[in-house]
Structure 1
Amino acid sequence: MNFFVTLNGRRLKQILFIIIVSFFTALFFYTQTIAQTPVFSANDGPKAIYKGEKGIALTFNIGWGDEKAVPIINTLQKNGVKSATFFLSGSWAEQHPDIVEKIVKSGYEIGSLGYAYVDYTELDESKIRSDILKAQEVFKKLDVHDVKLLRSPTGHFDKKTLKVAEQLGYTVVHWSVDSDDWKNPGVKTIVNKTVKAKNGDIILLHASDSAKQTAKALPIITKDLSHKGKFTTVSDLITNGHVKTTLIQ
């Protein structure tokens, strides 16, 4: 009888050990999955692209200011970066047609940042649609055609945002690497955050006047990343290979 009880006790310990190991293994993979999904996850629904497969996409948001954009464009050209994507707010583009023209003539891609710098998650569908269409009209007047990429102005978006974007023929683009350059944490910090990018990543940078250190960081960033993948536009990144998307409710 004693042997029987001892044997069951050992088996019970083994079973408990297996359960504990299985639990922590599952927890590890779950947290890894969360870490690799930069925005949201859900079952099926509208999608936003945040990563591709071939190339590295440098993307620059511009919402205000007239001092930093041109130096950044010049820095890209000087360092041999022929492909990048600039997401412009319609209100800014309307006030700076000369800089918009320089972006286009430099061969860089333009995406929409909406018209006014507003949080789309706080608007209803009709107001989101109105903001996107207002920006669209500005781009047409500036002779910028085929703008099919949209980045939510504040980076926040939800199901209704993606629904409206899809209805208007836009692809919502997020990012997989955030430089945090608008916080001006120092050139070294911006570089360290950005050069961790790998082939397929979409990198968020800024060319608004708030990004005071970006132009200085770019030569180091572009030199380092040029060894990891070819610089490409977001459109080419989407076209050439598989893309990763976020699903939201």
Structure 2
Amino acid sequence: MNFFYVLNSKSVKQFALILVVSIFTAWFLYVENIVQIPVFSSKDGPKAVYKGEKGVALTFNIGWGDKKAEPILDILKEEKVNATFFLAGSWAERHPELVNRMVKEGHEIGVLGYDYVDYSEVKEEKIRQDLSKAKTAFEKLKIENIVLSRAPTGHFNQSALSIADQYGYTLVHWSIDSKDWTNPGSEQIIKKAASAKKGDIVLLHASDSAKQTANALPEIIKKLQKKNLEFVTVSEMISNAESKSKEVH
């Protein structure tokens, strides 16, 4: 009798341990899905976001070219979808009419630096110069209230986070990478982008190098609508999150 009692006691303890671990794992996954999580940050410093709490955000990077942006804007207008466009300052200077159209049609503008600079591999002064030039470019175009930025190559470090914060920008990454710039075929782009769930930020491109994005976009929108996901801008997605900014002296 005593032998079976001890054996059963051990089994109960093992079961309890497994139950606790399972509950903790489920809780962690739940929190990860509903809470905006920094992709890279210090304990107390500014944070880069790659996930939000509501809807789904389609984001488009544009660094060069003048052929692909307009067809994408036409599709978004027809589908009544607002997106967030991260624009290189140098591109915006060359295409003010497209930038103004984006604003007029309700899309959000974010800064994609000025040149194609890898923020993780250059000195702080170069990052400052790049963001400063971009900021000046958008000011000349009278595009106000820009609060978001994205590292031009997608790579960044703590210095880049801090400098972006000093310019008043929240640095935005992504949770779904469509890989559309590799031109893998419309079906592959659709498959990746349409896998998005609530709170995801989807990376797409409207530069001329992304030759298949416009063809894939209508089906991406259709599939995400079937999931009853609301299309929101990044700022709308993270509007309930705390943000920090510092004045540049």
* TM-score normalised by L of structure 1: 0.81
Aligned ranges 1:232-243 → 2 under 5 Å: 232-239=232-239
Moved more, 207-216 or 72-81: 72-81
- The separation in 2 between residues aligned to 1:108 and 1:101, in whole angstroms, is 10
Partner of 1:92 in structure 2?
A: 91
Partner of 1:183 in structure 2?
A: 182
Aligned ranges 1:120-199 → 2 under 5 Å: 120-199=119-198
* Equivalent position amino acid for 1:140 in 2: E
CA contact (8 A) 1:52 1:244 kept: no
- The separation in 2 between residues aligned to 1:41 and 1:133, in whole angstroms, is 22
Unmatched runs of 5 consecutive residues or more in structure 2: 1-17, 244-249
CA contact (8 A) 2:47 2:161 kept: yes
* Equivalent position amino acid for 2:77 in 1: Q
Secondary structure at the aligned position of 2:50 is classed as: strand
The structure with more radius of gyration: 1
Partner of 1:14 in structure 2?
A: none
- The separation in 1 between residues aligned to 2:170 and 2:38, in whole angstroms, is 17
- What is the CA distance between 1:80 and its match in structure 2? 2.0
* Equivalent position amino acid for 1:195 in 2: A
* Equivalent position amino acid for 2:141 in 1: L
* Equivalent position amino acid for 2:235 in 1: S
Secondary structure at the aligned position of 1:120 is classed as: coil
- What is the CA distance between 1:46 and its match in structure 2? 3.1
Q: Deviations over 1:205-242 (max 9, x none)?
A: 00000110001111000011123311011111111xx5
Aligned CA-pair RMSD: 3.1
CA contact (8 A) 2:190 2:219 kept: yes
Structure 1 runs of 4+ off > 4 angstroms? 35-44, 242-245
CA contact (8 A) 1:150 1:171 kept: yes
Secondary structure at the aligned position of 1:205 is classed as: strand
- The separation in 1 between residues aligned to 2:48 and 2:178, in whole angstroms, is 19
* Equivalent position amino acid for 1:231 in 2: F
- The separation in 2 between residues aligned to 1:177 and 1:38, in whole angstroms, is 15
Unmatched runs of 5 consecutive residues or more in structure 1: 1-20
Partner of 1:9 in structure 2?
A: none
In the alignment, structure 1 residue 208 sits paired with structure 2 residue 207: yes
In the alignment, structure 1 residue 47 sits paired with structure 2 residue 47: yes
Secondary structure at the aligned position of 2:207 is classed as: coil
Q: Deviations over 1:62-94 (max 9, x none)?
A: 00000000000001111221x210000000111
Q: Deviations over 1:142-188 (max 9, x none)?
A: 11111110000000000000010111111000001110000000000
- The separation in 2 between residues aligned to 1:154 and 1:205, in whole angstroms, is 13
CA contact (8 A) 2:41 2:48 kept: no
CA contact (8 A) 1:187 1:216 kept: yes
* TM-score normalised by L of structure 2: 0.81
- The separation in 1 between residues aligned to 2:110 and 2:149, in whole angstroms, is 6
Secondary structure at the aligned position of 1:51 is classed as: coil
Secondary structure at the aligned position of 1:118 is classed as: coil
In the alignment, structure 1 residue 64 sits paired with structure 2 residue 64: yes
Secondary structure at the aligned position of 1:193 is classed as: helix
Structure with the bigger RCO (C-alpha within 8 Å, sep 6+) is: 1
